Chains A and B, each alone.
Chain A
Amino acid sequence: MSRSPLLKPSRKTTRLWILCASLLCLGSATFLVLNAFSSNIVFFMAPSQLRDHPPHPSRVVRLGGMVVAGSLHHHPNTPDTTFDVTDGQVAITVHYTGILPDLFREGQSVVAVGELQTDQSFKAQEVLAKHDETYMPKEVADALKRSGKWDPRFGPPPDAASWNRMTATSHDQHP
């Protein structure tokens, strides 16, 4: 402790500065790499992106968007389904054969994995349902639907402040 810390930095201070400098370098390097690969990290493409930049035919892409209300058709006696996926600008018709996840419904965000056909429709091998950040009890959702404040088929629920104090007993108010 005889050395003045102002005149000659102690070894601890030197080590601290080296550490800060390397962290700064590492952070900016990571930022640059992530920035450069940003388009590859994106998990899915919106319908309008897919329309504007059509992928190479027979290349597997992921299409993400909302299932248009009223567009869902189950073909009777087959596991085939057809539905439209939209981002608000463009809608693309998706054909899918198989089991849909629990959260799949009209108005839900979904990700379809498959190929864009030449007729601009989308043939999905796999359909994933995307959950949003809203968590609400069934009773609250029912009360919101009954009161006409929200129809799940047409978009996300209203602002959380309007319902997150509602309790599970709120359906008693609606006889």
Chain B
Amino acid sequence: MTLSSSWLHIWGFVLASYSLTSLWIIALAFLAIRRFNHASRRLALLKKSSAVKEQTPS
């Protein structure tokens, strides 16, 4: 007697692994990209404003 060989039993474990992994990867990639874009935008803004400051004589 073995475990029932229903469709869910045959594919359920595979699909659970694939969806779980995809979710994690997408979440990690999303967080990294958002953080990267945020930092590079702020850096560009700061560099621009400091360049403007240096050009204008005080």
B1 and A101 contact, CB distance less than 8 A = no
Interface digits, B1-17 against A, CB 8 Å rule (1 contact, 0 not)?
A: 11100000000000000
A79 and B3 contact, CB distance less than 8 A = no
Is A99 interfacial (CB 8 A cutoff)? yes
B2 and A79 contact, CB distance less than 8 A = no
Number of residues of chain B lying within 8 A (CB) of chain A:
3
Is A81 interfacial (CB 8 A cutoff)? yes
B1 and A81 contact, CB distance less than 8 A = yes
Interface set, chain B 3-56, CB cutoff 8 A to A: 3
Chain A residue nearest to B5 in the complex (CB): A102
Instruction: Provide the bound-state CA to CA distance between A85 and B18, in Å.
Output: 36
User: Which chain A residues lie closer than 8 Å to B1 at the CB level?
Assistant: 74, 79, 81, 99-100
Interface residues of A (CB under 8 A from B): 74, 79, 81, 99-102, 104
What would 11 more interface pairs be, CB under 8 Å, given A100-B1, A101-B3?
A74-B1, A79-B1, A81-B1, A99-B1, A99-B2, A99-B3, A100-B2, A101-B2, A102-B2, A102-B3, A104-B2
